[in-house]
Structure 1
Amino acid sequence: MPDRVLPCYVVFDESCSMADHMDSLNTGLRELTGTLLGEPSIAGRTRLCVIGFAETARIVTPLSTPGTGPARDGRAIGTETNFGAAFAVLRETIERDVEALRSASCAVHQPVVFFLSDGQPTDPAAWPSAHAGLVDPGWAARPRIVAFGIGDADMTTIARVGTHGAYLSTGDLTPRDTVREFTAALAGSVVASGAAELTVPRQVSGFTALETDAV
């Protein structure tokens, strides 16, 4: 039997309010790739996709083996923070990716999503429905979501987004260091998971862990 593949999705807010965080995020994602490449047995069983969102959502790096996809551009692209767009594109992308992996005779673990935003959703009436579709218990490919909120992110919203972990920044670190802690936690979680069961860190420097209802 072939090793199971773990699809990992990094979904981040790239509205204008995130502009000051983009360099740190780019650096952190490069370090994430480097960390995974330093663990060949994990990297070989992990696939990584990066999705950014503002008014709309876009696939920045399609699902691929770490280190083989294109590097993301370091720019903020909009003024809105449309959570619903992110969740809708994420569901479509996961569905397509999982089907492609299975068509290639890969066994697939339940996908994992790491979500990052520094603001509150600008579509408060619409995003819960899109989120519900993403985490629908009747959908076999539904992902496990770990959500991180920084800056002006709302505690209740971040806790609702995360199904298997949620964290809110405490303000004790600089924005640069806060984003670096996010990517470090992401890398540590993937490596500790061994491309199998999701391992969520109990503590992340500069963040408070929030209560979530696992789906």
Structure 2
Amino acid sequence: MVSDVLPCYLVCDVSLSMTDHLGEVNAGLREFRGAVHADPSVAALTRVCVVGFAAAATVLQPLRPAAELTELDASRPRAGTNFGPAFALLRETISDDVRALEADRLRVHRPVVFFASDGRPTDRSAWPAAFAALADPDWPSRPTVVAYGLGAVDRDTLDRIGTSRVFLGQDGIRLGTALAVSMTRTARRTDRV
């Protein structure tokens, strides 16, 4: 029997401009973990990777079951908000993960990227090319991207990133709710890579 896997990449801005919002991000991660746990079919399907970015991007948690989702270290916000390195790292990480999952004979659904930021990049001219590579329609592992804005967001930037949907915290939508809705909706579809 072949098992299905839905890879989810939580991309979290951990820059200085997000200092006041990291508690909200962690609360959202806890809420999402609880929502996935409450739905056994989604829990069995979903694997989560966490990427943090400021001036540089790094994988904070490799792809693993959603029940093992950890919180962000909110004690060390960093300077810079470079979206480009986050998108470049995502493309590389998704490629590696999909290749590894398929080698394990798992059926991989189209990945979902959940991008949480205030939407104010410091690499304004550089990030669009990295995002275009991530969202390239000719790339078989191209993810669906959901953007979530915290604080006084740059809505225009987030609209360019959210290929599927854009949620705004200022509209009263909690991060955990937006993430859970996005993942459960996607988990019920069978769009494989």
What is the TM-score with the length of structure 1 in the denominator?
A: 0.82
Contact 1:6–1:195 (CA under 8 A) maintained in structure 2: no
Residue 62 (structure 2) pairs with residue 62 (structure 1): yes
SS in 2 for 1:67: helix
SS in 1 for 2:32: helix
| Greater relative CO (CA pairs within 8 A, separation 6+) | 2
SS in 2 for 1:6: strand
**What are the ranges of 5 or more consecutive residues in structure 1 without an aligned counterpart?**
199-215
Structure-1 residue corresponding to 2:9: 9
- What amino acid is the match of 1:45? L
Contact 1:5–1:46 (CA under 8 A) maintained in structure 2: yes
Structure-1 residue corresponding to 2:183: 190
1:7 offset after TM fit, Å?
Answer: 0.4
* TM-align CA RMSD: 1.9
1:150 offset after TM fit, Å?
Answer: 2.5
- What amino acid is the match of 2:116? L
- Normalized per residue, the structure richer in helix is 2
1:75 offset after TM fit, Å?
Answer: 3.2
**CA distance change for structure 1 residues 172 and 46 in 2, over 3 Å: closer, same or farther?**
closer
SS in 2 for 1:140: coil
After superposition, residues 156-175 of structure 1 pair within 5 angstroms as 156-169=156-169, 171=170
Mapped to 2, the partners of 1:7 and 1:47 lie a distance apart of 5
- What amino acid is the match of 1:104? D
Contact 1:9–1:112 (CA under 8 A) maintained in structure 2: yes
Contact 2:24–2:175 (CA under 8 A) maintained in structure 1: no
Structure-2 residue corresponding to 1:27: 27
Cα-to-partner distance string for 1:98-144 (whole Å, 9 max, x where unaligned): 01100110010110111111141100110000000101111100101
- What amino acid is the match of 1:183? G
**CA distance change for structure 1 residues 68 and 155 in 2, over 3 Å: closer, same or farther?**
closer
Contact 1:22–1:74 (CA under 8 A) maintained in structure 2: yes
Identity level (%): 46
**CA distance change for structure 1 residues 107 and 172 in 2, over 3 Å: closer, same or farther?**
closer
Structure-2 residue corresponding to 1:41: 41
**What are the ranges of 5 or more consecutive residues in structure 2 without an aligned counterpart?**
none
Mapped to 2, the partners of 1:77 and 1:151 lie a distance apart of 16
Cα-to-partner distance string for 1:18-56 (whole Å, 9 max, x where unaligned): 111112211221221121111112111111111111000
Contact 1:5–1:195 (CA under 8 A) maintained in structure 2: no
- What amino acid is the match of 1:136? D
Contact 2:4–2:107 (CA under 8 A) maintained in structure 1: yes
Structure-2 residue corresponding to 1:79: 79
SS in 2 for 1:11: strand
Cα-to-partner distance string for 1:133-183 (whole Å, 9 max, x where unaligned): 1011111001010112232321211111111112344x465xxxx6xx122
**CA distance change for structure 1 residues 7 and 172 in 2, over 3 Å: closer, same or farther?**
closer
Of the structure 1 ranges 110-119 and 183-192, higher mean CA displacement relative to structure 2 is found in: 183-192
Mapped to 2, the partners of 1:89 and 1:48 lie a distance apart of 15
Of the structure 1 ranges 36-45 and 102-111, higher mean CA displacement relative to structure 2 is found in: 36-45
SS in 2 for 1:141: coil
Which structure 1 residue ranges, 4+ long, deviate > 4 Å from structure 2?
none
